[in-house]
Structure 1
Amino acid sequence: MLGIDQGGIEATRFANHRPVPTATYSSGDVNVWARLLQLDTAGTPAHDLRSITFSGAPSPATVTFGDAATNVLQTTTTAGDRWFKDALSSAVNNHSDGVREKLQILAKAINDKPDAPVTAEVWGYRIAFKPKVGMLNTSYGIGSTASENLAASFTANVRQYALGNIGTGSFQNGAGQVGGDDDGTPLTVADYTGSALDHTGFHALDRVDLFNLMVLPRDEDIDEAEYQQLFGPASIYCESRRAFLLLDAPTSWTNGEKMDADAAKVNSLRAGVVKQNSAIFYPRVKISDAGFIKSIGPSGMLAGLLARTDSQRGVWKAPAGIEADTRGVLDVELNLTDNENGVLNKLGVNCIRKFPNGIVNWGARTLDGSDDFGSEWKYIPIRRLALFLEESLFRGTKWVVFEPNDEPLWAKIRMNVGAFMLSQFRQGAFQGSTPDKAFFVKCDGETTTANDRNLGIVNIQVGFAPLKPAEFVVISIQQIPDIV
């Protein structure tokens, strides 16, 4: 009971929440013990506890507390009877006074028996029975002679599993399982896609004003095939919100120290995905988690890299290259060669590379960036720049609504949109030496016809010349003959 404010390592009165070791652990209602210790209206025990059986334990699996006449946990109420001395004296009120003391007596009665298959520990109002022999994942079921059903109040908990085929075990139910609240089950595809009406899953973002990157890190409890079923719905949702989806490559693309990805696997993955609004990154990276080295998908790391590049250089700069270094990353799961990088890059897969100067992102293609597609949205910075311009212009032209739809309005639109595009040109967002070569804004009687005006529509056309990243550096070397 020291508590963390007195130099302890546990918050005061939080013993009941301490994670138990591999053991059979009382996780039910504390009143089960109160009722077991309760006296009836005549002052005699309502229940007795003569033995506990540990199913699956080596012989002797039953711990007996004496016989009917000399029961260690006595069933009489004599003055020297410690088992019922401080227990409840009311058959109506199920208070828990004395419960911890009785659990200590029960634990001592078990620990005093050298042939008992378990040792007993008391934590607060709970008791745990730890197997004396067996593997790391060994635990026993509970049975007793008490008329109160103790078995329903115990759970077999496994804190750690032994490696290899040396037994089975099951995790303890989540906290509050008896009350109907548990840790839940792994999320399904339906949990992610959710409901637009209820604003669940992806649609929880409906009420978020603006987001432009989505990351879906994989939970290890979710099957890889099921995880990939999220890619299509997630990319469709991102397209509807002018956002960009960052994906982790499947773990099956790595086979030990060898890359196991090819065109068939990549094409299978992008089937059903909005390719121009998605990008995939490979391989996984290694990080330190409290001293433990773990391999994780790189998409979360890339989201941070994109945000840093956006703030330092602009959304039109490819988040790749020597300056696109990763931070907080120890290593890559697979150190790719130039040839392996070349194979994946042509398929539209971005690779994380390890160079002498650090670990960097060495790719900037969307899933539409395969050399076989010839898409105008081949590169991440071009697609994200287009999304940025579209969202900015959408928000920046809301003042147009309900204005008279005629030439004076069109002139104001050309001026406002042109000023915004000019500011982006001056920051280096477009190619071209002059604004007229970098972008155009068109809003007049040609873009907005008489029929459009009748329907209450004003059409604005904006074009820009994007800056494409230099993926390959070609150096030609020529010998000059000696001149004599």
Structure 2
Amino acid sequence: MPVQPTYPGVYINELPSAVRTITGVSTSVAAFVGAALRGPDNVPVHITSFADYTSTFGGLHASSPLSHAVYQFYLNGGSEAEIVRLVGSGAARSTATFSSLTLTAAGAGTWGDRIRFRVDHDTATGAANLYNLTVRDNDTGAEERYLNVSINAADPRALHKVLRTSALVQLPTGTEGPTVRPLEHPDPPAGVDPLADPPPAPPPAKPEDDTPPPVYSTPLGGGQPGGALAAASYTGDEDTKTGLWALDRADIFNMLYLPGITELSGLPAAVYPAAAGYCQKRRAMFIVETGKEVNTASRAVDAAHPPPPNGGDPFGIARDLRKNVAAYFPWVNLADPAEEGGVREFPPGGVVAGIWARTDAQRGVWKAPAGTEASLNGVQELTANLTDTEHGRLNPLGLNCLRQFPVTGNVVWGARTLAGADRLADQWKYLPVRRLALFLEESLFRGTQWVVFEPNDEPLWSSVRLNVGAFMNTLFRQGAFQGQTPQQAYLVKCDRENNPQNDIDRGILNILVGFAPLKPAEFVLINIQQLAGQVQV
């Protein structure tokens, strides 16, 4: 606050700084949406390793394309990911009631039937309104323990509050937990694990011996896996945040992939437009691939440029959405750890997402995720080996190809968006240019929030120019833009010229940020001329 001088002397007044550092957002967070063996459904779960995925969603399994895509993502250099598990219609959560306490599994499916819970009254104070709850998943061994849980809904230790972080169980919808302290489970004999699955009871020797064994914990039951995923499972509902809209709860993601969707008849055409539109809204890229049946260059041409009567929109995605989509061909053959190392065909999306993340970490988002450095880790061979001539038919259509070369091996050999067809002449033809623009948009969107409600005049404009300019100059020094000087590489304009009084009166602040992107050297032409008869003078 301002200093009020009252006596002769020296006063110290700390003034706010005009420097507000803009930090670049992450560019390599992948979002995977699909079916998993277990775990919470329609909730984004942030993971940083495949071990995280295994502990929450059950690890690799032949029937889960999602698990293989995430595994391949980390195999190829991925770092962070958001996982959304989808379930089909008819799926139900396991549930059980003991005394006054009812719990359900955190997600639908039969996996919840392996969960057991136990109540005891050995609390810190012994108060009559407190109890302890222990929950264990006997399939993975994951265990959660909640101590001194209160039956008072307003207490910070109320059950509905402490279970917010649980990955195993939750309360039935609309409930806050028991209002009467639940009874406690009996203590087991020494050396007996109270949460272990009890062994099958032997048949009684006599009818009078047919007494139930003691119960030291309560199992959940009644889970249903549901049917196959449908288009509505992916598109979901915006109001209830299901399907793709579950990612609204995630802070940020930069690339979206839907594992296994190409293997489900009719789903890509029904889901891809919605997914591409959602990515455009979230400033992210959507990774797609051709179907498994597309195993030749001619079929790939039809996929990238469908013939009449369905021609016009490759993969069913309209032109205005293609700038946020990148398509790849062909599929890849990898060893499947879930089947003792047997080689299987997989769609390339998980591998490609990992290469994007690896390239970002090593070179930056402005480097095309393609070339000799973009090696396909773990890929033994491609399902279609293209010639240069065949590739020359696909590249002008905006379809990125995976190629196999001597010495180099299997690599990504294309860096165009789906809007990169030559005939479109789109400004977002190249993938690194589009991804750099999305990076700038998201970073500046988050880094200029402080401007809202500030006095809209020259002091604010100069502060904006200072902070945005410092951010852009940092990127320039890292090699993100063309040009030998900052003036050639970028511009930041926020002054009276682009903020007329009419806009100021309407509460509008205009900031113009321009950048000169680096275009990838897609075609390298070497001119060779024979010199003969020249005389050195």
Residue 447 of structure 1 and its aligned partner are, at CA, apart by: 2.1
CA distance in 1 between partners of 2:224 and 2:474 (Å): 54
Are residue 244 (structure 1) and residue 291 (structure 2) matched?
no
Tell me what 1:272 maps to.
317
Tell me what 1:439 maps to.
490
Compared CA separation, residues 308 and 85, structure 1 to 2 (3 A): closer
Q: 1:451-462 alignment to 2 at 5 Å? A: 451-462=502-513
CA distance in 1 between partners of 2:444 and 2:505 (Å): 23
CA distance in 1 between partners of 2:462 and 2:261 (Å): 53
Are residue 308 (structure 1) and residue 308 (structure 2) matched?
no
Residue 448 of structure 1 and its aligned partner are, at CA, apart by: 2.2
CA distance in 2 between partners of 1:94 and 1:333 (Å): 61
Higher relative contact order, structure no. (Cα contacts within 8 Å, ≥ 6 residues apart) = 2
Higher CA-based Rg: 1
Tell me what 1:427 maps to.
478
Task: Encode CA deviations 1:415-442: one digit per residue, 9 max, x unaligned.
Answer: 1101100110011111011110111011
Tell me what 1:352 maps to.
402
Are residue 286 (structure 1) and residue 286 (structure 2) matched?
no
Task: Encode CA deviations 1:95-119: one digit per residue, 9 max, x unaligned.
Answer: 599xxxxxxxxxxxxxxxxxxxxxx
Instruction: Give the residue type in structure 2 aligned to 1:309.
Output: T
Instruction: Give the residue type in structure 2 aligned to 1:252.
Output: E
SS in 1 for 2:423: coil
> Would you say the 8 A contact 1:366–1:377 is kept in 2?
yes
Tell me what 1:151 maps to.
none
CA distance in 2 between partners of 1:89 and 1:221 (Å): 57
Tell me what 2:245 maps to.
203
CA distance in 1 between partners of 2:207 and 2:246 (Å): 51
SS in 2 for 1:330: strand
Tell me what 2:527 maps to.
476
TM-score (norm 2): 0.56
Compared CA separation, residues 259 and 270, structure 1 to 2 (3 A): closer
Task: Encode CA deviations 1:326-364: one digit per residue, 9 max, x unaligned.
Answer: 111111111111111111100000000011121100000
Residue 452 of structure 1 and its aligned partner are, at CA, apart by: 2.2
Residue 261 of structure 1 and its aligned partner are, at CA, apart by: 2.9
CA distance in 2 between partners of 1:379 and 1:328 (Å): 27
SS in 2 for 1:288: strand
> Would you say the 8 A contact 1:448–1:458 is kept in 2?
yes
Instruction: Give the residue type in structure 1 aligned to 2:205.
Output: D
Name which of 425, 428, 438 aligns with 1:377. 428
Runs ≥4 residues deviating over 4 A: 93-97, 257-260
Name which of 382, 393, 402 aligns with 1:332. 382
Instruction: Give the residue type in structure 1 aligned to 2:251.
Output: D
Q: 1:27-106 alignment to 2 at 5 Å? A: 86=205, 88-89=207-208, 95=212
CA distance in 2 between partners of 1:323 and 1:232 (Å): 32
Instruction: Give the residue type in structure 2 aligned to 1:447.
Output: N
Compared CA separation, residues 412 and 483, structure 1 to 2 (3 A): closer
Task: Encode CA deviations 1:95-154: one digit per residue, 9 max, x unaligned.
Answer: 599xxxxxxxxxxxxxxxxxxxxxxxxxxxxxxxxxxxxxxxxxxxxxxxxxxxxxxxxx
SS in 2 for 1:440: strand
Tell me what 1:465 maps to.
516
Give the length in aligned residue pairs: 319
> Would you say the 8 A contact 2:272–2:316 is kept in 1?
no
CA distance in 2 between partners of 1:87 and 1:462 (Å): 86
Task: Encode CA deviations 1:189-220: one digit per residue, 9 max, x unaligned.
Answer: 11111111111111111111111111111257
Name which of 383, 393, 402 aligns with 1:343. 393
Tell me what 2:108 maps to.
none
Identity percentage of aligned residues: 49
CA distance in 2 between partners of 1:221 and 1:292 (Å): 20
Instruction: Give the residue type in structure 2 aligned to 1:367.
Output: L
TM-score (norm 1): 0.62
> Would you say the 8 A contact 1:88–1:95 is kept in 2?
no
> Would you say the 8 A contact 1:280–1:367 is kept in 2?
yes
CA distance in 2 between partners of 1:217 and 1:86 (Å): 54
Compared CA separation, residues 221 and 304, structure 1 to 2 (3 A): closer
Are residue 317 (structure 1) and residue 367 (structure 2) matched?
yes
CA distance in 2 between partners of 1:219 and 1:292 (Å): 22
Task: Encode CA deviations 1:48-70: one digit per residue, 9 max, x unaligned.
Answer: xxxxxxxxxxxxxxxxxxxxxxx
> Would you say the 8 A contact 1:247–1:280 is kept in 2?
yes
SS in 1 for 2:333: strand
Which runs of 5 or more structure 2 residues have no equivalent in the other structure? 1-202, 215-219
CA distance in 2 between partners of 1:312 and 1:392 (Å): 20
CA distance in 1 between partners of 2:427 and 2:263 (Å): 38
Are residue 233 (structure 1) and residue 274 (structure 2) matched?
yes
SS in 1 for 2:428: coil
SS in 2 for 1:246: strand
